[in-house]
Chains A and B, each alone.
Chain A
Amino acid sequence: MNCLNVCHILGISTLLPEEISLILDTAESLKEILDRPIKKVPLLRGKTVVHLFFEPSTRTRLSFELAAKRLGADTIGISAGASSVKKGETLIDTVRNIEAMRPDVIVIRHPYSGTPYLLTQYVKSAVINAGDGINEHPSQALLDVFTVREHLGHIEGLKVAILGDILHSRVAHSDILAFTKMGAEVVVSGPGTMLPPRQSQVLGARVVLRTEEAIEDADVIIALRIQRERQDQSLIPSIREYATFFGLWPERLRLARPGVLIMHPGPINRGVEMAPEVADGPYSVILDQVTNGVAVRMALLALLFKKGE
């Protein structure tokens, strides 16, 4: 395979394993550009990428913008509130206006699940989902898989533990789908309020109640960011208690395989999702994730343009 089947990157759920491999291979060859003194190739010269963010984001947006610029595309960023509907303009109106400016790719982040999918019904441009509600965050999952493959050489047969708010995390959803599609065994755990009720499986991952059981013999541990407002929603009693019983501490880490990779989608709450010494420890690849994010997003743009031609 040297071309994507899909015309949009809406979620990992719509990608075949071969497509994921193609994206990873492409990212690998593009990553080399990032180490050059002049970090730019003219692959997408004359093309326009619109970044449409209905939710505050610094990291993902920066990463997407950098990826587009490294490939020579023109970029436009638009920030809007999802509530702009209240001002009378609907999302569909907004998007039709943007479409009239003939962009080639629209990268969208939106607080409501399924919005990127809705977009594809109204625009001709390729659409990349940069995170929709509690649904998916495909580029994050792809960069996570890329990072693991880079460090461990393969994905198949690995045990990947994902810890935290599994139910309300788009990163968790996309990670589970991506790692299982690539042949890993995924185990998820977190407080009972953050796991699907009475289900032993979620999206192909095994659900366990004890953090230790998830960590045991894990090759990779992904700790999800805990949103502080979850306290107010009575999902957890306190951040402190979460840290104590569900966080990654050095003694817990001993249950995992030696050399276990520690990952986090960022931004990290030090001392909550994991101890500072874990985040900064020898097996933490958290900063590699950030670098790889640019390479993976370059790959997505490059492959969508190739598909469009």
Chain B
Amino acid sequence: MRPLLFTNARIIDPGQDWDFLGRLLVENGIIAAVGQSLEVPEDARTIDLKGKWLVPGLIDIHVHLREPGEEYKETIETGTAAAAAGGFTAVACMANTRPVNDSAGITKFILERAREVAKTRVYPIAAVTVGQRGEQLTEFGDLLSAGAVAFSDDGLPLGARMMRHALEYAKSFDALIISHSEELELSEGGLMNEGRISIELGLKGIPAAAEEVAVFRDVTLAGLTGGRLHIAHVSTKGSVEIIRQAKARGIKVTAETAPHYFSITEEAVIGYNTSAKMNPPLRTEADRVAIIEGIRDGTIDVIATDHAPHSTIEKECEFQLAANGIIGLETSVPLSLNLVRSGHISASQLVRCMSSSPSQILGVAGGSLTPGSPADISVIDSDQTFILTLESLHSMSHNSPFLGKELQGRAILTLIDGRPIYDPEGIASPHQDPL
């Protein structure tokens, strides 16, 4: 492969405090040099980015790839194709496959499939408990040896005692516990955020408190045990405040939110729109604003998508019966860029939330453009507008409340080890170029 020289690139790397217009050279799959003027090998192909963003490959810490078991919704192949198209070079996939990823065999299967068909890097998250049943811890050591990067029962929240033990046992391996913090007794039967709109639609509500009491419980247990805790998909103002205080007290906790929680509110449910049904549910405007503030001040470390593909079987039905979740890999960049455009966060903060912090929290490669690191790179055109259509999606499912909406900003080139995995305009891989 010929070396690639990116010129006129807006190079952003929060780890180096970089945000400048310059050049970046990729050679042998490695970032060889970064700077204003570089010594360039003769055979290098020059790509003038005309000021577009060049950032460390985005990493999505929370996706559902559905394979094995629900390949009619998504596969490792299609899910990672969607990821690549969304600017991601790596995804961490949740354990709620069928069978559940609760043993080294399943973890190895996922990694094996990923080697065969995945566009991006795939990091399996294993279940905390066998079968996600909340009764017996999985073999953390064995799973980590097989390639798991963290542990979570996600949508099936742990009881308090099991959460304590998971955090304690994880310490032996410096492993991360990802918590979907939800008090099931308070959310049971709930279909959307509890409040004015849930009454207007006659849908049973899920109070913000169902999340907040669980977040408080979990950070308290993290404080008790000293285990490493990551709170998934924070959706309420109260949760942000609880995490802010926990961090101030020195508790080892990190947190993520998803673009939908800072982009839209419970109003999206009006009309019994199943594409706006998710758990935790879309909240109020006050929550939305507090989530943005949490991202701005660093309380929320990560923007993850909680990409949750469902087919029309699960979504074209009564609201009550519809499955929770929306796809997110192909809308995360434009929605998150809105925060930069509105002046809430800097471009560097955005890259931190979508690349550097995820890599640090999971302890995986990437998140940096330092010379010598693998050339996992996303090139983003922050201005390009497009309408999200069925045809434009790479995911097998299309359960998105943003379908038909005009979005601004998208990945135009994604590289792994210097190799283009998404390059619709042929920027880095013109046909005349011999492989």
Asked whether, in the complex, the Cβ of A203 is within 8 Å of the Cβ of B199, the reply is yes
Which positions 81-123 of chain A face chain B at CB distance < 8 Å?
A: 82, 85, 90-92, 110, 112-115, 117-118
The answer to whether B199 touches A173 (Cβ under 8 A) is: yes
* CB closest residue in chain B, given A196: B199
Q: Decide yes or no: A135 and B202 within 8 Å by CB, A114-B272, A117-B272, A118-B272 being known contacts.
A: yes
Query: How far does the alpha carbon of A204 sit from the alpha carbon of B201 in the complex, in Å?
Result: 14
Q: How many residues of B sit at the interface, in one of the four size bands? A: 10 to 19
Determine the distance from Cα of A162 to Cα of B272 in the docked complex, in whole angstroms.
Answer: 27
A134 within 8 A of B: yes
Min CB distance B349 to A, Å, is: 35
Nearest CB on A from B355, distance (A): 40
Q: Per-position contact with B for A63-88: 1 when CB-CB < 8 Å, else 0?
A: 00000000000000000001001000
- The minimal Cβ–Cβ distance linking A198 to chain B, given in whole angstroms, is 10
Closest chain-A Cβ to B313's Cβ sits at a distance in Å of 8
* B318 partner residues in chain A, CB cutoff 8 A: 82, 91, 110, 112, 114-115, 118
Main secondary structure of the interface of B (DSSP, over half): loop
- B319 and A114 contacting across the interface, CB-CB below 8 Å: yes
With an 8 A cutoff between CB atoms, is B362 at the interface? no
Does the CB pair B199–A113 fall under 8 Å? no
C-alpha gap A167/B199 in the complex (Å): 7
Inter-subunit contact A135/B201 (CB<8 Å): yes
Q: A85-B321, A91-B317, A113-B320 are in contact. Are A173 and B202 (CB under 8 A)?
A: yes
Q: Is A132's CB within 8 Å of the partner chain B? A: yes
Q: Is residue A21 contacting chain B, with contact meaning CB distance below 8 A?
A: no
- A side interface size, CB within 8 A: 26
- Tell me the A231-284 residues at the B interface (CB within 8 Å): none
Closest B residue by C-beta to A11 = B202
Decide yes or no: A133 and B199 within 8 Å by CB, A112-B321, A114-B318 being known contacts.
no
* B317 CB contact (under 8 Å) in A90, A167, A173: A90
Q: How far is the CB of B266 from chain A (nearest CB, A)?
A: 14
B204 in the interface (beta carbon within 8 A): yes
Q: Is A136 on the interface with B (CB-CB < 8 A)?
A: yes
Which residues in chain A, 153-191, are within 8 Å of chain B measured between CB atoms? 167, 170, 173
Q: Find residues 305-326 in chain B having any chain A CB closer than 8 Å to their own CB.
A: 316-321
Residues of B within 8 A of A44 (CB): none
Q: Find out whether the CB atom of A113 lies under 8 angstroms from the CB atom of B317.
A: no
Query: Which of A82, A92, A134 has a CB less than 8 Å from the CB of B202?
Result: A134
- Kindly supply a per-residue 1/0 record for chain A positions 1-29, scoring 1 wherever the CB is within 8 Å of any chain B CB and 0 otherwise: 00000000000010000000000000000
Q: Is A194 an interface residue (CB 8 A)?
A: no
Residues of B within 8 A of A132 (CB): 202
Show the binding face of B for A, using Cβ within 8 Å: 194, 196, 199-204, 207, 271-272, 316-321
Instruction: Pick the 8 closest A-B CB pairs, nearest first.
Output: A135-B202, A114-B272, A113-B202, A112-B320, A112-B318, A134-B202, A114-B319, A115-B318
Q: A90-B317, A113-B202, A203-B199 are in contact. List 10 more A-B contacts (CB 8 A).
A: A13-B200, A82-B318, A85-B317, A91-B317, A91-B318, A113-B203, A113-B272, A114-B319, A135-B201, A167-B199
A–B Cβ pairs within 8 angstroms, 18 of them: A13-B200, A85-B317, A90-B317, A112-B320, A112-B321, A113-B202, A113-B319, A114-B203, A114-B319, A115-B318, A118-B318, A133-B203, A133-B320, A135-B201, A135-B202, A173-B202, A197-B194, A197-B207
